[in-house]
Amino acid sequence: MHLNITHAREKWKGTMTDRQRFVNQMHFKSFDRCFNMEFGYWDEVFDQWDIFTRHNIKNREDAFILLGFDRIENLFGETFMLPVFEEKVVQERENTLIIQNIDGLLAEVPKDSHSTIPHFLHSSIITPDDWKIIKEERFVIKHPGRIPNIDEIKNKFPDDRDFPVGIDCGSMIGRIRDVLTFEGLCYAINDYPDMVEDMIETCCLLVEDFLDAILPHVRFDYARGWEDICYKNGPIVSPSFFKNIIAPRYKRINKKLKQFGIDIWYTDCDGDVRPILPILLDCGINCLFPFEVQSSKDPRELLTQYEGELRIMGGIDKTKLISGKEEIKEYLESIEAYVAKGGFIPFCDHYCPPDVNQDNYLFYLDLKEKMFGIK
């Protein structure tokens, strides 16, 4: 945390600590006001909004401090490829670069570095023979670099802290998709199903080893994970594949979390998660993040359907922030009663895009405080 940053906006008033507030709100218990947070911003926003340029803010962590949000942190472990590939430029073209990224993928990216999805050209893993080599070189479970520094972590996150901290539970299939590519994963599930399942099992073992090392020593308030595998038409793997291959690994992880009292677990997944939501809930993942409204539709519907079971972090339609103040006001009013019930921490349903102007965004923050802060 860069605590030397001057607040441009005052933190919302409250009678609870950030930690008490988060825990109570996510457990449908009494809370003083809504937990105040946001997800982040496209890089272009840091160059366009005066509130950021004036204070020389270049990243979301500093932006959160500047804007006076509640404090929330996560602990990450080395639960995937280690060591990663060297990131380097392989070829320079007229308007693009061919790079090798940390996953060993060759990708075409714009020279001007504007935000866009890379065009992937080649994966480091295509066949089981490729996986065998990469697994032996970069997925060694007992690699020294995976051992957490317990004393350092305990000093950073003491039991009596006043802010919530989550333990990262990695990714069972999202990071595999990153390595194989979307197309590569689709082919591999059909052509090399044993390879894909072994990759998933390896990811699970890495997460379990990390949890075994850290959970006895630090008290966490929730768990988090990353499975960015859904698009506007649903998940890129079938629900049956998800249920039969991925869910058993989630359940193993959930058993370890429950042993240490961790019963809130969100997964960071864009797109329409509804086809696999019952499976997620059955595995112990009971919170959606950041809940993209254009894909998963109105958050009120799922909060009603799974009342008392599902939580949502996010769910503020970014298109309303683009549209204007009336649309922002109408949307926030539509969810006000659901925020009051608990289990719903509202913020922009992905990184705030540059299409949102600063005036609309600050109006949105002010209105959130008026509606969801202490009256």
Name all domains of the chain by residue range, CATH numbers in brackets: 18-82+125-372 (3.20.20.210), 86-123 (no CATH)
Q: Quick one: pLDDT at residue 6?
A: 65
Q: Quick one: pLDDT at residue 39?
A: 97
Q: Which of 305, 331, 304, 307 is nearest to 320 (CA)?
A: 331
The DSSP string of 231-284 is: ETTEESS-HHHIIIIIHHHHHHHHHHHHHTT---EEEE--S--GGGHHHHHHHT
H or E element that contains 180: helix 174-180
Q: Which of 61, 65, 59 is nearest to 10 (CA)?
A: 65
Q: Are 286 and 312 in contact (CB under 8 A)?
A: no
Q: What angle do CA 33, 35, 39 make, to 5 degrees?
A: 150
Q: How far apart are CA 16 and CA 14, in angstroms?
A: 6
Q: Quick one: pLDDT at residue 3?
A: 45
Lookup: tokens for 324? 């204007």
Q: Report the predicted TM-score, pTM, of the whole model to 2 decimal places.
A: 0.94
Exposed / middle / buried, residue 222 (Cβ in 10 Å: 0-12, 13-18, 19+): buried
pLDDT-flagged residues of the chain (< 50): 1-3
